[in-house]
């Protein structure tokens, strides 16, 4: 039992270190070399880490949405309360000086309500629909300069550069950026065509 517990702790520690190195942009092969394990082990560890990250992200988003919905409910209630108050008659007090002293009169005026509060209610409803995904999808078109077509530039990468991207994520993209002195010929990507140090 103690042996199993140590194995679990060792695996958790290895996964944590693999995740830290992965976030720093290191490719799987480099992570495996640092941790002294196989590339397949790193792949399995990071796959499990990504699954946990995904679960946390979903839970965090759900919690955030619930909090925002509760906040919108409070704002909407306050807006409705202010709307009802703006419909009540208001008192207009007039004070006039006379020979005997001061004369104070009170006059009540009816009100139709302040539409600003209704606009706030509508804003809350629109925001709630947006958070819950109830709005119909909107069509968005992206264009190039002055509304013209988007200019496309074809970039050719070598097998080594493509492999660096596949293994290194964002860091791989940086490492794979073509240099002026590099050949940009493109060949089919097969294990047999990769340099020995890059072949899996």
Question: How far apart are the C-alpha atoms of 75 and 79, rounded to whole Å?
Answer: 6
- Predicted pLDDT at 198: 44
Alpha helices by DSSP H, the chain: 2-23, 28-35, 39-86, 115-132, 159-175
Radius of gyration of the chain (CA): 33
- Predicted pLDDT at 162: 75
Selection from 3, 4, 34 nearest residue 19 by Cα: 34
Give the model confidence (pLDDT) of 91-144 as tens digits: 777 777 777 777 777 677 777 789 999 999 999 999 999 999 898 887 777 787
β-bridge partners, 105: 94
Read off the pTM.
0.47
- Predicted pLDDT at 191: 42
Give the model confidence (pLDDT) of 146-174 as tens digits: 778 887 766 677 777 777 777 765 555 55
* pLDDT, the chain, mean: 79
- Greater confidence, 48 or 146? 48
How many Å is the maximal CA-CA distance in the chain? 112
- Greater confidence, 91 or 45? 45
Share of the chain above pLDDT 90, in %: 28
- Predicted pLDDT at 171: 55
Question: How far apart are the C-alpha atoms of 143 and 94, rounded to whole Å?
Answer: 63
Q: In the 8-state DSSP scheme, what is residue 195?
A: -
- Predicted pLDDT at 5: 81
How many CA atoms lie within 13 Å of 118's alpha carbon, on the beta-carbon side?
Answer: 7
- Predicted pLDDT at 172: 53
DSSP, collapsed to helix, strand or coil, labels residue 9 as: helix
């Amino acid at each position: 039992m103690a042996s199993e517990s140590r194995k679990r702790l060792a695996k958790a520690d290895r996964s944590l270190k693999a995740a830290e190195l992965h976030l720093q942009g290191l490719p799987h092969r480099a992570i495996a070399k640092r941790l002294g394990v196989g590339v397949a082990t790193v792949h399995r560890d990071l796959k499990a880490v990504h699954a946990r990250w995904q679960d946390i992200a979903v839970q965090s988003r759900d919690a955030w949405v619930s909090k925002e919905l509760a906040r919108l409910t409070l704002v909407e209630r306050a807006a409705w309360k202010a709307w009802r108050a703006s419909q009540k008659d208001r008192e207009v007090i007039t004070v006039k000086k006379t020979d005997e002293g001061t004369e104070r009169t009170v006059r009540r005026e009816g009100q139709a309500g302040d539409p600003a509060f209704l606009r706030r209610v509508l804003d809350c409803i629109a925001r709630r629909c947006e958070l819950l995904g109830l709005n119909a999808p909107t069509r968005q078109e992206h264009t190039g300069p002055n509304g013209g077509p988007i200019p496309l530039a074809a970039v050719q990468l070598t097998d080594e550069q493509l492999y660096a991207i596949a293994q290194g994520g964002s860091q791989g993209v940086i490492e794979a950026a073509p240099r002026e002195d590099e050949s940009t010929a493109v060949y089919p990507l097969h294990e047999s065509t990769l340099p020995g140090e890059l072949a899996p």
